[in-house]
Structure 1
Amino acid sequence: MMNAVLAALNPVAFSIGKIEVFWYGIIIATGVLLAIILAIRESEKRHINGDYIVDMMLWALPISIIGARLYYVAFEWQYYVDHPSEIIAIWNGGLAIYGGLIAGCATIYVFTKKKGLPFWLMLDIAAPSVIIAQAIGRWGNFMNQEAHGAETTRSFLEGLHLPTFIIDNMQINGVYYQPTFLYESLWNLLGFVLILVLRQRKQLLKQGEVIFSYIIWYAFGRFFIEGMRTDSLMLFDTMRVSQLLSIVLFVGAIGLWFYRRKKYPTNRYYLEGAPITK
């Protein structure tokens, strides 16, 4: 039974000749596909043609992946300067979500300005899609046996009532580790549900506040989960980059939320969507 489980959790899903297809890529692609479908459906309800979502993703997706990789490589430069051929090896992991989010938001800003679309509304439409994609994507880390926490014991993991296949795959080189990938996946899944519920409440969230809700929720959880990880990107070898950025984003989102409420009290509510034009 153990051999069957370990075989099923091989990071390589299948091979085509000499080309290996990794579960990491399949899982990430699945999350992205679901995100696009959800965003297209929601955009139509908010008076925005779903074709814009597809066009936007054709730009935002590759740029986000590049941004996520560059962010990761930048903070691991001491390794990659000696192994430059591995910079493009994203199938082995090494995509920093914050780098992808920054690059993606910048792309959406440029896209919406060129197309004359409401920037904040487009971010609001994308927010739940992004967080559910993150929840799914963390399972790619699981298949690569990365993004885990400190050493623990099998009895501790069993005490969490986790499925056996998760416990078995958290044993790396004979040592069991905290499944921080799972903690973040569940946190994101809960955030996804919460954001969907809040987004549908009438006269509650104005445009721009759905994305703020996502940032606040994700940054809060990521701060604590990041503190449990053993593979964090570090700044000057003393500070976890993602924890610092989580604080900045958490405080910044709350501050900008209150600022926009006071400065622009007539902003449209999210459910009003884009102005209908003929």
Structure 2
Amino acid sequence: MLNGLNAVLATIPSPDRGVWYLGPLPIRAYALCIIAGIIVAIWWGERRWVARGGIKGEVTDIAVWAVPFGLVGGRLYHVITDNQKYFGPGKDPLAALEIWNGGLGIWGAIALGGVGAWIACRRRGIPLPALADALAPGIVVAQAIGRLGNYFNQELYGGDTTLPWGLEIYRRVTPEGREDALAGVAIDHTPIQVVHPAFLYELLWNLGVALLIVWADRKFRLGHGRVFALYVAGYTAGRFWIELMRTDEATLVFGTRVNVFVSAVVFLGAVAYFVIARSRGGREDVAALRSTAEPVEAAEGEAPAKADVVEASDEGAEKKNSPESVKPE
């Protein structure tokens, strides 16, 4: 009996709920974690971008495009790869729009978020690979923070385990007595399962990837998208083995979870890019790249780009200040 008590005390309890109500307004832990991750990614990305020669505020401006695109892409990937949850006999297709109930695929989020970032970068004359390098550590930390949302939702876990860090899973019910793992509340804290906390494994792995790419970036002064490629390779390497241990419902290809194959393919692509891009040299000068870039459109009343500013030499200082050198806007 003592050994059984020690085993229970050593396990990780789950939260009794993932949703709280402020009057009629639901406050969802999953959504709060996603928002917190986005804030951290923008804040850290802004600091790294400025340190690389960018202008303060540009990351926030680009996030206005990238974040909505990323949320749509993440949801689309989830709905496509887990379509059995929303389509078929007895299913509600409209539930595919209920993003607050969880379900964002990182592959779709990064892919479509990258499209949004590319559009914003084109408009401002910013090189996307350089920006991606600045954002990479913040993105993977944001993913780690987002995994806490899975903890509150009692999702993303593996098989049964007797390890001391096993995660307790509770039966959650609504006030009407209906079982609901997301919107319900655990009244009885006797676990119905003790499982591998796959969400925690990925959270810790992501933090390790963040440390790795920050270290590599500082030591080798990586550029031309290689920091981002290293992030993608590191993340997918971890996602590969974590997917193999997950037991929740998923789309299978040849009896294996689809994300196992996606992880392998994206990993190989990231490694190939990391190696090939080495020929482009070390970290690029963002200011110099900006000076040669031509924005697709400039905002009305915006200051002229650096490419339009004549840098006066000692010999031409007088010419710069002369009336002839002043051109009307």
Common fold: TM-score over 0.5: yes
Who is 1:64 aligned against? 70
User: Aligned pair 1:181/2:195, yes or no?
Assistant: no
The RMSD of aligned alpha carbons is: 2.3
Who is 1:35 aligned against? 41
8 A Cα contact 2:226 2:273, kept in partner: no
Task: Count the aligned residue pairs.
Answer: 259
Q: 1:120 to 1:274 in 2, by over 3 A?
A: farther
Q: Tell me, what secondary structure is at the counterpart of 2:247?
A: coil
Query: Offset at 1:114?
Result: 2.5
The code of the aligned residue for 1:84 comes to P
The match for 2:269 among 236, 252, 268 is: 252
Q: 1:20 to 1:37 in 2, by over 3 A?
A: same
Q: Which runs of 5+ in 1 are unaligned?
A: none
8 A Cα contact 1:127 1:214, kept in partner: yes
Who is 2:248 aligned against? 231
Query: Offset at 1:9?
Result: 4.0
Q: Which runs of 5+ in 2 are unaligned?
A: 1-8, 172-190, 292-305, 307-329
8 A Cα contact 1:75 1:235, kept in partner: no
Rg: which structure is higher? Answer: 2
Who is 1:145 aligned against? 154
The match for 2:31 among 25, 29, 41 is: 25
Task: For 1:231 and 1:27, locate their aligned partners in 2 and report how far apart those are by CA, in whole Å.
Answer: 21
Q: 1:256 to 1:26 in 2, by over 3 A?
A: same
The code of the aligned residue for 2:197 comes to P
For normalisation by structure 2, the TM-score amounts to: 0.73
Q: Tell me, what secondary structure is at the counterpart of 1:269?
A: coil
For normalisation by structure 1, the TM-score amounts to: 0.85
1:26-175 counterparts in 2 under 5 A?
A: 26-81=32-87, 82-153=91-162, 156=163, 158=164, 162=165, 167-168=167-168, 170-171=169-170, 174-175=192-193
Q: CA deviation digits over 1:246-266, x for unaligned, max 9?
A: 11111111112222234x3xx
8 A Cα contact 1:112 1:118, kept in partner: yes
Query: Offset at 1:237?
Result: 6.3
Query: Offset at 1:79?
Result: 2.9
Query: Offset at 1:236?
Result: 4.3
